[in-house]
């Protein structure tokens, strides 16, 4: 795909389609010269309600189509930038669905001076959204549908920004959009294709384009000799071997053993990589099981974010740790009531084999500590309870450090990848106490499921290390398309975690 920057007057651009935005009740004054090319009757009936579209074919000039997209009025408690993201997504999908694959976007003056300090970020975000809104997972169709993938994208920006600045924003946006698409592809791949070994191969492939990345994979033999009892137990019902994937980004000039690098901040991101979750011996009901190839969405977001950090050359040391297993029932599978010894030495009562995510994350969090991180964030489709509580709209956020949690919440608001905090305290810690082992992988009577999951994970993190847990079981996958999200894997978390790393590197 070709990405261009155009800094002259929008009307002089040569393009298949130009997208413009209009606020409710306001004539698009800033596009005067183009407005004259839209039939007055059509323009008069266009109310600019949120998401309303008007496609016009100018009789003359170099712009073949003008698409007006309504932003609605401001009587909404949605962040105005999010309203804009959605309108932009609607416009991009509208055109690409019709086979218009060469698209230019002009945002003109829809953001006033009050957005000045966010303006660079808004431009970059707008380009990211333009590039991720048209998306389809078509890999396994033998007859390719008429493509709805963009062929070329032009950012029209006769604005008070230098060409150099705009070019940088454009380049960064392409990296972030690529990363979101990488995560979506990983999540959407079916479980017979995206096995633990395939996920490890995908991680290794990311290294090929980024020399500052390195990838190590522990296979079953290595996991056994190193005592990763949790990962082994969760995987033992499957014929697919477990893999512990570590994808590490060291900023250029810092090559060498990661343990020796202490000059820069180190962030470890841990992601759940269950490539299929049948529930194991506590087999899931039929409903929704076919979607359980998405249970590695946390891992996908982590791998894609580490890739983004490298491609953006952020001045921060980032390690992604993704334990990958398939959770299956069989004669060799873990059984309810089993007691296993995790990598940390803590014993775990496997009260329910469907709560497998926390068991593999326990070992991964122990592995994470070896990098002496300044902070750890884990990302996991851990509980159906998170989906029940917050829907597909928000992820649940918990942790042991309010400053870190506030920072993640804030980045969530900035990126539109929203989170909601839930508590962990001693009353909830009671829920995961076991009669027979150090900790139990199940809460009390299925209550407070999200918190029980986090209270369990907390046992495997040092109190001195700021840690946040993101349960993205809701937003990782959509049951129907959103304005700029597809149905299926959303790549949720990549924009959030990348923005978080950028903030940490400042």
Told to judge if 65 belongs to the known catalytic residues of this protein, a careful annotator would answer no
Choose from ligand BES, Zn ion, none: what does 376 bind? Cβ within 5-8 Å by kind: none
> Smallest distance from the beta carbon of 354 to ligand BES, in angstroms?
4
Residue 473 in contact with ligand BES, rule: CB under 6 A: yes
- Measured from the CB atom, the residue of 24 and 291 that comes closer to Zn ion is 291
* Binding to Zn ion in span 8-67, by CB under 5 A: none
**For residue 418, how far is the Cα from the chain centroid?**
11
* Residues pairing with 439 in the sheet: 348
Active-site entry in 23, 184, 358, 440? 358
* Residues pairing with 155 in the sheet: 5, 105
Please give the helix or strand (H or E) that residue 286 lies within, else none.
none
Residue of 322, 469, 314, 466 whose CA lies nearest to 382: 469
- Measured from the CB atom, the residue of 302 and 473 that comes closer to ligand BES is 473
Residue 370 to residues 65, 229, 303, 333, Cα–Cα distance (Å): 56, 17, 19, 29
* Residues pairing with 217 in the sheet: 245
- Measured from the CB atom, the residue of 178 and 354 that comes closer to Zn ion is 354
* Binding to Zn ion in span 334-363, by CB under 5 A: 354, 357
Residue 242 in contact with ligand BES, rule: CB under 6 A: no
CA distance 18 to 92: 10
CB 338 within 8 A of CB 350: yes
- The pair phi, psi for residue 417, each rounded to 5°, is -95, 95
* Binding to Zn ion in span 244-303, by CB under 5 A: 274, 277, 295
Cα torsion angle, 113, 117, 118, 123, sign: positive
* Binding to ligand BES in span 364-393, by CB under 6 A: 381, 383-385, 387
Choose from Zn ion, ligand BES, none: what does 442 bind? Cβ within 5-8 Å by kind: ligand BES
Q: Two tokens at 428? A: 């909830």
All residues at 6 or more sequence positions from 95 whose CB lies less than 8 Å from its CB, including other chains = 17, 19, 65, 67, 101, 103
Choose from Zn ion, ligand BES, none: what does 449 bind? Cβ within 5-8 Å by kind: ligand BES
Residue 354 in contact with ligand BES, rule: CB under 6 A: yes
> Smallest distance from the beta carbon of 279 to ligand BES, in angstroms?
6
Told to judge if 181 belongs to the known catalytic residues of this protein, a careful annotator would answer no
Choose from Zn ion, ligand BES, none: what does 273 bind? Cβ within 5-8 Å by kind: none
> Smallest distance from the beta carbon of 288 to ligand BES, in angstroms?
7
Which of 172, 277, 378, 392 forms a contact with ligand BES (CB under 6 A)?
277
The two beta strands, 395-399 and 419-421, are parallel
Which of 442, 448, 451, 461 forms a contact with ligand BES (CB under 6 A)?
442
Q: If you write DSSP's letter for every residue of 427-477 in order, what string do you get?
A: HHHGGG--SSSSEESS-STTTTHHHHHHHHHHTTS-TTS-EEEEE-TTTTE
Q: Looking at 124-132, 169-177, 338-346, 347-355, which segment touches ligand BES (CB under 6 A)?
A: 347-355
CA distance 17 to 27: 20
CA distance 481 to 416: 16
- Measured from the CB atom, the residue of 158 and 190 that comes closer to ligand BES is 190
Active-site entry in 165, 284, 444, 459? 284
Residue 295 in contact with ligand BES, rule: CB under 6 A: yes
- Measured from the CB atom, the residue of 85 and 293 that comes closer to ligand BES is 293
Choose from ligand BES, Zn ion, none: what does 179 bind? Cβ within 5-8 Å by kind: none
CA distance 332 to 348: 18
What residues line the site for Zn ion (CB under 5 A)?
A: 274, 277, 295, 354, 357
Active site amino acids: 284, 358
User: Under the rule (CB under 6 A), what is the footprint of ligand BES?
Assistant: 277, 295, 352, 354-357, 381, 383-385, 387, 442, 449, 473
């Amino acid at each position: 795909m070709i990405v261009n920057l155009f800094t002259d007057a929008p009307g002089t651009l040569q393009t298949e389609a130009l997208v413009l935005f209009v606020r409710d009740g306001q004539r698009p004054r800033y596009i005067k010269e183009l407005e004259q090319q839209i039939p007055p009757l059509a323009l008069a009936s266009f109310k600019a309600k949120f998401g309303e579209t008007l496609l016009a074919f100018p009789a003359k000039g170099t712009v073949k189509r003008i698409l007006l997209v309504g932003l609605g009025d401001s009587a909404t408690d949605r962040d105005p930038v999010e309203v804009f993201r959605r309108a932009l997504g609607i416009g991009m999908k509208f055109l690409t669905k019709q086979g218009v694959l060469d698209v230019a976007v002009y945002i003109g003056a829809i953001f006033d001076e009050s957005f000045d300090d966010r303006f660079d970020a808004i431009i970059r975000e707008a380009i990211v959204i333009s590039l991720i809104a048209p998306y389809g997972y078509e890999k396994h169709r033998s007859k390719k549908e008429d493509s709805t993938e963009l062929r070329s994208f032009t950012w029209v920006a006769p604005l008070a920004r230098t060409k150099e600045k705009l070019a940088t924003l454009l380049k960064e946006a392409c990296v972030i959009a690529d990363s979101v698409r990488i995560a979506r592809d990983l999540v959407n791949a079916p479980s017979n294709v995206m096995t633990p070994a395939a996920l490890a191969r995908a991680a290794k492939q990311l290294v090929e384009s980024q020399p500052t990345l390195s990838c190590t994979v522990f296979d079953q033999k290595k996991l056994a000799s190193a005592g990763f009892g949790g990962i082994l137990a969760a995987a033992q019902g499957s014929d697919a071997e477990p893999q512990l994937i570590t994808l590490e980004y060291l900023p250029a000039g810092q090559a060498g053993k990661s343990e020796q690098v202490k000059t820069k901040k180190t962030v470890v991101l841990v992601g759940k990589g269950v490539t299929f979750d049948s529930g194991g011996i506590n087999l899931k009901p039929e409903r929704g099981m076919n979607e359980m190839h998405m249970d590695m969405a946390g891992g996908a977001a982590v791998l894609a974010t580490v890739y983004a950090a490298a491609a953006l050359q952020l001045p921060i040391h980032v390690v992604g740790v993704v334990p990958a297993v398939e959770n299956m029932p069989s004669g060799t599978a873990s059984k309810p009531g089993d007691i296993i010894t995790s990598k940390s030495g803590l014993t775990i009562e496997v009260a329910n084999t469907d709560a497998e995510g926390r068991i593999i994350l326990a070992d991964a969090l122990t592995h994470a500590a070896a990098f002496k991180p300044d902070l750890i964030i884990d990302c996991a489709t851990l509980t159906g309870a998170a989906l029940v509580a917050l829907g597909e709209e928000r992820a649940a956020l918990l942790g042991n450090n309010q400053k870190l949690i506030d920072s993640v919440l804030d980045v969530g608001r900035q990126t539109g990848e929203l989170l909601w905090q839930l508590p962990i305290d001693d009353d909830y810690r009671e829920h995961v106490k076991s009669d027979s082992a150090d900790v139990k992988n199940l809460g009390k009577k299925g209550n407070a499921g999200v918190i029980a999951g986090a209270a369990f994970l907390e046992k495997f993190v040092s109190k001195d290390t700021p840690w946040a847990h993101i349960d993205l079981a809701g937003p990782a996958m959509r049951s129907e398309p959103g304005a700029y999200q597809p149905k299926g894997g959303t790549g949720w978390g990549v924009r959030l975690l990348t923005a978080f790393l950028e903030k940490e590197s400042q």
